[in-house]
C-alpha cells in the first residue's frame, strides 16, 4: 500500500504515555502523561497536528501544575 505524499513525509508522533496511569481528580488529567481522559481516548484517531497541540498542552500543564506528593495529593505550599 502506498500512502499519499502528505502522510509519507510526516513523522509519526509517539504517545506521551509513560505507563503511570492515574487520574489527578483536581486537574482532570493523568498524572503520568498530563493528558485529559478525552485526549487519551482520542489519541489514536488524531492527526499529527492535533497530537502536537495536545503535547504542547501537556508541556504547559507540566509547567503550571502544583507538585504532587507521594500520596498523589498536591503539596502544601
Listed by start position, the domains of the chain span 17-64
Average pLDDT score, the chain: 83
pTM: 0.71
**Which three cell numbers, joined as nine digits, stand for 24?**
489527578
What pLDDT score was predicted for residue 16?
94
What pLDDT score was predicted for residue 33?
96
Instruction: Provide the pLDDT confidence category of residue 60 given band limits of 50, 70 and 90.
Output: very high
E-state strands within 1-77: 23-24, 29-30
Q: Which residue has the higher pLDDT, 74 or 9?
A: 74
Q: pLDDT tens digit string along 6-38?
A: 544 556 899 999 999 999 888 889 999 999 999
DSSP letter, residue 58: H
Amino acid at each position: 500500500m502506498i500512502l499519499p505524499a502528505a502522510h509519507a513525509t510526516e513523522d509519526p508522533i509517539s504517545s506521551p504515555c509513560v505507563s503511570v496511569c492515574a487520574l489527578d481528580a483536581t486537574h482532570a488529567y493523568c498524572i503520568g502523561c498530563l493528558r485529559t481522559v478525552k485526549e487519551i481516548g482520542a489519541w489514536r484517531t488524531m492527526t499529527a497536528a492535533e497530537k502536537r497541540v495536545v503535547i504542547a498542552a501537556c508541556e504547559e500543564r507540566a509547567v503550571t501544575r502544583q507538585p504532587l506528593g507521594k500520596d498523589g495529593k498536591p503539596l502544601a505550599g
